[in-house]
Structure 1
Amino acid sequence: METSNNNHDAPPPPLLKDLKVTIHNASMIFPSKEIERKSLFLSNIDKVLNFDVETVHFFGAHKDFPPHVVNERLKNALEDALVVYDFLGGRLKLNYDTKRLEMDCNPEGAGFVVASSEYNLDQIGDLDYPNPAFAQLVHQNKDFLKDGDVPLCVAQVTSFKCGGFAIGISTSHTTFDGLSFKTFLDNIASIAAKKPLAVTPCHDRHLLAARSPPRVTFPHPEMLKLSDQLPTCPESNIFEASTEQLDFKVFKLTSNDITKLKEEARNSSISGGLSTKCVTGFNVITAYIWRCKALSCYNDENPNRSSTILYAVDIRSRLNPPLPKSYAGNAVLTAYATAKCKELEEWPFMKLVEMVREGATRMTNEYARSIIDWGEINNGFPNGEVLVSSWWRLGFEEVEYPWGKPKYCCPVVYHKKDIILLFPPVGGGEGVSIIVALPPKEMEKFHGLFNKFLTSH
């Protein structure tokens, strides 16, 4: 039985600053069969996400799969995957006729790096703690690339002294969203096990093309036109890295804590008769984070300051007709909720939970199409104070490789103070790990609010 509040105030573990990683081999790998050279259309959702996502997947030692065998199996599996995902060995390019970013499906190849660390896996600290040094487990060395070459995918296998290893994967976000990346991992695992594909991916990104002519049928305050961006507001693009000093911290909610938050929401329902269907784990966690984040940078000098929270919603099943579950591109849009900081402090918790739910409910077929059409007319980005990106239920740690399931999967923490990540806890269970990066003063306040609201609930 989990105990509540067991580690909300636990001091941060000492972090290794250097994992002492040596690169042994870095090379390009190519599709195992000839692929057709073609251009792949990118949707208006894909083209906004032109940055890399880096994840690390940790594995314990396996007697039948020492690291050199894993290297060979994974390399061969990736070479086959570059045929199934024919864009993955290609490159992004601008189509000068349409002025759109596209994927040039060509056999330029992906990167594959073999490395080792001087540590045992159990010496590198808590795997779910956001250690910036984990960046060493994802390719940092660009020497093997041609000048100016930017592959869409690079994998690195780093072996530890104990026989355990980490697979670090860097992919351009234009290639996959969280769900399609999970499918990609399932397929890699199947190929490595010499089994048929787990899922045949759907590559038709025209399914998310704008309508002709585009019809923006809703206001979209959650989107920001680049031309609207004032020089005094450099952080409006939520995906931009921050230049200020940031503290990284992981906050944990046990399943008991999440149950308490759900009870608090139901108990604070004003009429008592409001639907409690919206009281899901995700909604209460997001509402809770919103309150803490908004109030961590709130002061009495600006009592009317508003806060907008953004959170990703998978639109595959919300479209008419629905997208195939196997859709391989980005099929996620940002829902939003906005309130004044004073309201976030004073309103009953249920009100915040309902606002989070309303944001997701708003994401109908017509609303999603309206955002996509907005992107056809405007060059812009999601616009909010904070984006909650949930990897909590994606199931990366459930992927069954020939060498077993990962002990843990995590992102490499990035210097973005407006993105908060939700992750499953190490070892499974129903709790959640919340990865936050904030300037030190805001982090101190966020930490205090996180504990205060939890103990008062």
Structure 2
Amino acid sequence: MPGEIVRRTLSRIKSQVVRALQTTTIKARVEALKEIIPLVSTVQEADAQVANEDEEDEIFMATCFSTGNSSKCWLIDSGCTNHMTYDRTLFKELKPTGITKVKIGNGCYIPAKGKGNIAITTNSGTKIISDALYVPDIDQNLLSVSQLIEKGFKVSFENWYCHILNAARQEILRVKMRGFHFLNQLGGPPNLKDSLSLTLKHYIPLASNILYPASNEKPFLRHVVGDSLSLTIAESNEDFDSLIANYARDADQFYPFVPQLPPPKEEPEYKTFPVFCVQVTFFPSHGVCIGFTNHHAIGDASSIVGFIKAWASISKFRGDSQLIDAKSLPLFDRYVIKDPRGIGDLYWDQLKNLSLQFPPSHLPINKVRATYILHQADIKKLKDSVLARKPDLVQPSSFVVTIAYVWTCLVKSGPVSGEKVDANESEYFSFAVDCRERMNPPVPTNYFGNCIGVAIVTRKHHELIENDGFFIAAESVAEIIRIKVKNKDEMMKGAANWLAEMGELLMGKRNLSVAGSPKLNFYDVDYGWGRPKKMEAVSIDGDHDSFSLCKFQDSEGGLEIGLSLPKTKMDAFAAIFASGLGVLSKEVFHSD
């Protein structure tokens, strides 16, 4: 029976895929995958008869190769019988289809909503992919090997490449195998320029300039017709996989992908300072890197991340309707911030002798950059260990235990890597606090500008390097949050002294700070070709110790810590970080 032939053949295809994934070399995987193609032809021959046996037509899709979704990327799949995409906008016209559902690898069914033709870009120009299915619930566009063969194309797998040739045996596409799959960005470079231009209509300050009067009066922001930001489009052949890795890499290698703010311009009565710039770097057949540099005077992290997410939304949905409908437009009204005590003037008196220009980056910086992950299970261990030692402490948050653990690991790695520190020297930890909801009256959350305060924790060096250092640090961070950060009256009470306090910390004191926050989730950003593989905060390369903190992209509840340190200190930190989690695991297990 045709149906039985299909079922047996599909079983053989799945077995062959499993065997391919179990091989130890890429070349062996390719050879195993080549054996699937004749099996696909067998399925094709019986497919028309099978359709008549079922009440509803269905397609089998072998989702054995998973990767990030992207409307620009297509997975070349020998296990599916039809081209499929989740992106409705790719179709010129969508027609009804007799195939109403698709069977995926776990045995479940998802609906197919129609079919139509799609234009894609290949090595030899634009080609029409006919009879592609619209399947909204799949997470990856699929290019069917069997359907290509049916249309007269030749598909071969040789020397780690998949080659697709037309009827005249001309190569129209060649894709290199990456990991276990053949993935090609068929759509060409995404058109980010138009979406950026539309986004800037809602974020005009980023295309403006700070004007610094020659009379040394307070600077102000100006936008005139013709003002724009600097956008750099580049291409790189650097190792993309190394850039998105977690292991320690030379920090210098990231600077080619970070845009530099243009130098200030001299006008008769002012100096004009650009405030924002963007660089988009394409890595052919691998990915895209988008770098941002902003002058902190234009906005805090919440403001800049708001812009990045708005740009991504406009790029993905090809317009600003989603942004407008969600009421996510920024608010620029400075009068929502009340300043009855004149703190703004006080800050200007302290800042007016400082340069507004960004200091140049001097390479090499002699540091390595690495990322460390605290999974949800690790964070739970940290919380449990703190509560076991400090039962009276209010339930410590993930932020508290992560900050405390990284802080103590860094303090302990100093002497191990050769730093000479007096036991009684003070160790400081400072972090920014979003004050929008802490102002009186509260400032709307979509306010674009700077509305941040600072919280500072201090302990003696010998307290943090002792065995109980982590618990002491966790208690100190939790207390400053309870007493100050969560009490808006206390938080704002010391606002007049924030700049002076931070200035003292930057004058040679041992201060650690954090860039970013788990609340500012960069991994939610999607320009239309999938979520980011990696976020790097290059600003932590500075002279003062700092680390980046954000949600971990691959698991719920995990956190990602980015560090840039001299290699000897990074090696020491890595060993202390890993061993500390191991000790906590044993303690928690023993206490149970």
Q: Normalising by structure 1, what TM-score? A: 0.70
Matches within 5 A, 1:250-269: 250-269=371-390
Question: Could you report, residue by residue, the CA deviation over 1:277-307 in whole angstroms, capped at 9, with x for unpaired residues?
Answer: 2x11110010111212223335787221110
Which residue of the partner structure matches residue 49 of structure 1?
none
Within the alignment, does 1:315 sit opposite 2:435 as a pair? yes
* Pair 1:78–1:344, CA change in 2 (3 A): same
How far off is 1:262 after superposition? Answer: 0.8
Higher relative contact order (CA 8 A, sep 6+): 1
Question: Matched residues in 2 for 1:375 and 1:267: separation?
Answer: 35
More off after superposition, 256-265 vs 379-388? 379-388
1:438 to 560, 565, 589: 565
Gaps of 5+ in 2: 1-67, 75-89, 91-119, 122-184, 353-358, 585-592
Query: Among residues 419, 432, 437, which one is paired with 2:546 in the alignment?
Result: 419
Q: Which has the higher helix share?
A: 2
Question: What are the Cα deviations for residues 286-337 of structure 1, in whole angstroms up to 9, with x where unaligned?
Answer: 0111212223335787221110111222222222322101011122322111
* Structure 1 segment 24-39 matched on structure 2, within 5 A: none
**How far 1:379 sits from its partner (Å)?**
9.7
Query: Is the counterpart of residue 342 in structure 1 residue 465 in structure 2?
Result: no
Separation of aligned partners in 2, 1:62 and 1:68: 6
CA pair 377-101 structure 1, distance change in 2 beyond 3 A: farther
1:450 counterpart letter in structure 2: F
**Deviation digits for residues 194-242 of structure 1, max 9, x if unmatched?**
13224121112344464335599xxxxxxxx799xxxxxxxxxxx9989
Measured at CA, do residues 126 and 170 of structure 1 come closer, stay the same or move farther in structure 2, by a change above 3 Å? Answer: same
Q: Distance in 2 between matches of 1:398 and 1:108?
A: 30
Note the alpha carbon deviations across 1:399-434, whole angstroms, 9 max, x for none: 243334333333236532411112333534432222
Q: CA deviation at 1:359?
A: 2.0
Alpha carbons 2:522, 2:535 under 8 Å: kept? yes
The total of aligned residue pairs comes to 377
Aligned with 1:406: secondary structure?
Answer: coil
Partner residue in 1 for 2:34: none
Conserved 8 A contact 1:154-1:171: yes
Once the two structures are superposed, residues 343-385 of structure 1 have per-residue CA deviations (whole angstroms, 9 ceiling, x without a partner) of 2234464442121022223134344434443368999476561
Distance 1:354 1:301, change over 3 A: closer
**Counterpart contact for 1:189–1:399, Cα < 8 Å:** yes
Q: Does 1:203 align with 2:332?
A: yes
In the alignment, which of 296, 301, 320 is matched to residue 413 of structure 2? 296
- Is 1:137 the counterpart of 2:266? The answer is no
The corresponding residue for 1:90 is 208
Counterpart of 1:13 in structure 2 is: none
Show the counterpart of 1:62: 73
SS at match of 1:317: helix
Q: What is the CA distance between 1:396 and its match in structure 2?
A: 1.6
Distance 2:312 2:361 in 1: 32
The structure with the largest alpha-carbon Rg is 2
Q: Equivalents in 2 of 1:377, 1:127: separation in Å?
A: 36
Amino acid at match of 1:401: Y
1:178 maps to which residue?
301
Task: Give the Å deviation of 1:99.
Answer: 2.7
Q: 1:202 to 1:297 in 2, by over 3 A?
A: same
Name 1:389's counterpart in structure 2. Answer: 515
Task: Report 1:316-335 matches (<5 A).
Answer: 316-335=436-455
Indicate which of 198, 219, 229 corresponds to 1:110.
229
Provide the rounded CA distance (Å) in 2 between the counterparts of 1:202 and 1:98: 28
Give the match for residue 287 of structure 1: 404
Partner of 1:403: 529
Give the direction of change, closer, same or farther, for the CA distance of 1:248–1:412 in structure 2 (3 Å limit): same
- The answer to whether the 8 Å contact 2:433/2:453 transfers is yes
How far 1:180 moved relative to its partner? 2.0
Q: Give the partner amino acid of 2:340.
A: R
Which one-letter code corresponds to 1:62 in the other structure? C
Cα deviation for residue 134 of structure 1 reads 2.8
Residue 195 of structure 1 aligns with an amino acid whose one-letter code is D
Identity %: 24
Q: Per the alignment, in what secondary structure is the counterpart of residue 452 of structure 1?
A: helix
Contact 1:254 1:431 in 2 (8 A): yes
Q: Say whether the 8 Å CA contact 2:213–2:219 is kept in structure 1.
A: yes
Structure 1 distance, partners of 2:69, 2:262, is: 25
Equivalent residues of 1:62, 1:163 under 8 A apart:
no
Gaps of 5+ in 1: 1-57, 217-224, 228-238
SS state at 2:437 partner? coil
Take 2:189 and 2:265, find their aligned partners in 1: how far apart are those partners?
23
Deviations 1:144-176 (A, max 9, x none): x97997532222222222163222222222223
State whether structure 2 residue 305 is matched by structure 1 residue 305: no
Q: Match of 2:235, as an amino acid? A: S
1:100 aligns with 2:218: yes
Structure 2 CA distance for partners of 1:379 and 1:258, relative to 1, 3 Å: closer
In structure 2, C-alpha distance between the alignment counterparts of 1:302 and 1:376, rounded to whole Å: 27
Q: Which residue of structure 2 lines up, in the alignment, with residue 155 of structure 1?
A: 278
Is the 1:59–1:166 Cα contact (8 Å) retained in structure 2? no
Superposed CA deviations along residues 21-54 of structure 1, whole A, max 9, x for unmatched, are: xxxxxxxxxxxxxxxxxxxxxxxxxxxxxxxxxx
Q: CA RMSD in A?
A: 4.0
- Retained in 2: the 8 A contact 1:313–1:332? yes
Q: Does structure 1 conserve the Cα–Cα contact (< 8 Å) formed by 2:234 and 2:282?
A: yes
Secondary structure of 2:366's partner? coil
Task: Say if 2:246 and 2:372, in contact at 8 Å, map to a contact too.
Answer: no
Q: Secondary structure at the match of 1:352?
A: helix
Against the structure 1 CA distance between its residues 343 and 394, is the aligned structure 2 distance closer, same or farther, given a 3 Å change threshold?
same
CA deviation after TM superposition for structure 1 residue 190, in Å: 3.3
